[in-house]
Amino acid sequence: MKKIAILGITGSIGISAVNVVRQHPNDFEIVLASSNNNYSKLFELAVEFNIPELVITNSALEQKITDIPKNSDLNFGEDELQRRIGSVECDIILNAISGSAGLRSSITTISKGTDLALANKESLIMAGHKIMKMLKHSETNLIPVDSEHSAILQAIGNSTPEEIRSIIITASGGPFRDLPLNEFENITLEDTLKHPTWDMGAKITIDSATMMNKGLEVIEAHWLFHKSYNDIKAVIHPQSIIHSFVEFVDGSILAQLGFPTMQIPILYALTHPKHIKSTIQKTNILDLPNLNFRELSIERYPLFEIAVNAGIQGGILPTILNASNEAAIDLFLDKKICFRYISRIVEKQISKFHNFQNPSIEEIIQINKDVYTQTKQNYKNLI
C-alpha cells in the first residue's frame, strides 16, 4: 500500500487520480489532499477516502467554513500547505496544482526527498535549472504525469541520453487545427474550451488551442530527458493515440500508445518503474482509427515558437512567458480580450523584459507575480 498526497485533488488531474485510487483501493491510500477554493468537493473526497490531512490554500475561506469532516485535520493557506508537505509521512506526492501556484510544492517535495509525480509542468518551465540541480542532491525521483512525457519515459527505458537522437512529441492540434486562418478573429471562449480529444482544466485546454502547451512540453522534455532543443520536435497527430516517439541513434523509433485517458499516465507515475495490473482502459488495436501526422504550422500556432525560443534563451524568460500567458488566459476567460490577443500579449511582454540567467526560486516567484499583475493591469497597452 503506497501512501500518497494529492495536491490539487479537486481539479481535472486530481479527480482522475481519485478515480485511479478508487480502482486500486489496495494499492493506494490518500494521506494529504489540497484544493484552493472548492472545499465542498475536498470534504466529499475526505469522507469517501478518510483523508487525515486537508489544506485549503485560499486562506480567505477560513472564516466561512464551519462544517469540517470529523476525521480530518483542516488547515488553510499556502504556507500551511508547504508545512504539511514537509511533515506528512508518505511515499509519493502528486502535484496536480494548475499554473505557477504549483512551483513551491514541487520545491518543498524535492527538498524533503519524497518522490514527486509531477503534473504541474509550470514548475519545470519556471525553475527547470534549479529543480534539476536539486534532484542531484535529493532522494526524490521525479516522474512526469504529462502523457507525452510519460510516453517518452517509457520508450527511453534504461537508455542513456547519448543513445537518443531525438524526441518527437505529439500534439492533437486542439480545436482549431483545421479552422481557416481568416476565421481566427471569430473564435469564442466556448469554442476554445471544447478540446477534441482530452478533457482537462480550463488553463491547459486554452494552452492546447494556442499550442503554448506544446511549447511548454518541449521545455519540460528538455529538462526531464537532458536533450538539447535541437533534438526535440513536435508533430500534429489528431487522434491522440500515440503519445510521443523516441528516435534512437541507430535509426530505431519507439512510441507509446493507448486510448487518451490521463488515468494511465497517472497510474504509471504512481507505480513507476513498474506497470501494475489494471482495468482502467484497454485499447483494442483493431478498433483504432487511422493514425496520421502533419507538420505544426507556426503561422497557426505562433505561441509554440515563442515558447520554445523562451526555453532556448532560458534564465528568467520562461517565467515571463508563463506569467504573461497565465494573465492573458485569465483575461480571455473574463472575456476582456479575444483569442488572437493571447499570443500578442505574451510576445510583447517577452520582448520588453531583460533576461538574466540562473534566477533563484525567490526571484522566480516574485517576478512571476509582478509580471502577472502588470500584464493584467496594463493589457490594453499590449494589444
Of 53 and 146, which has the nearer Cβ to Mg ion?
146
Looking at 46-54, 69-77, 147-155, 237-245, which segment touches Mg ion (CB under 5 A)?
A: 147-155
Of 152 and 316, which has the nearer Cβ to Mg ion?
152
Minimum CB separation from Mg ion for residue 146, in Å?
4
* By the rule CB under 6 A, 326 interacts with ligand NDP: no
Of 105 and 140, which has the nearer Cβ to ligand NDP?
105
C-alpha cell at 271: 507505480
Size of the site for Mg ion (CB under 5 A): 2
Of 115 and 330, which has the nearer Cβ to ligand NDP?
330
* Alpha-carbon dihedral 350, 352, 354, 360, rounded to 10 degrees: -50
Q: Which of 362, 374, 329, 51 is nearest to 192 (CA)?
A: 329
- With CB under 5 A as the contact rule, the residue among 53, 146, 220, 330 that binds Mg ion is 146
Of 97 and 345, which has the nearer Cβ to ligand NDP?
97
* Per-residue contact string for residues 190-229; x = within reach of ligand NDP by CB under 6 A: --------x-xxxxx-------------------------
Place of cell 535529493: 138
* By the rule CB under 5 A, 207 interacts with Mg ion: no
Handedness of CA 202, 41, 20, 90 (dihedral sign): positive
Of 375 and 382, which has the nearer Cβ to ligand NDP?
375
- Cα–Cα distance, 115 to 354 (Å, whole number): 35
- Cα–Cα distance, 133 to 135 (Å, whole number): 5
Exposed, middle or buried: residue 16 (CB in 10 Å: 0-12, 13-18, 19+)? buried
The DSSP secondary structure of 195-263, one letter per residue, reads -SS----HHHHHHHHHTHHHHHHHHHHHHHHT--GGGEEEEE-TT--EEEEEEETTS-EEEEE--S-TH
- Cα–Cα distance, 185 to 100 (Å, whole number): 29
* By the rule CB under 6 A, 21 interacts with ligand NDP: no
Provide the 10 A C-beta neighbour count for residue 251.
7
Element (H, E) at 166: strand 164-171
* By the rule CB under 6 A, 146 interacts with ligand NDP: yes
Looking at 139-147, 273-281, 307-315, 357-365, which segment touches Mg ion (CB under 5 A)?
A: 139-147
Of 122 and 148, which has the nearer Cβ to Mg ion?
148
Looking at 34-42, 178-186, 335-343, 372-380, which segment touches ligand NDP (CB under 6 A)?
A: 34-42
For binding to ligand NDP (CB under 6 A), which residues are involved?
8-14, 35-38, 57, 96-98, 101-102, 119-122, 146, 198, 200-204, 262
For binding to Mg ion (CB under 5 A), which residues are involved?
146, 148
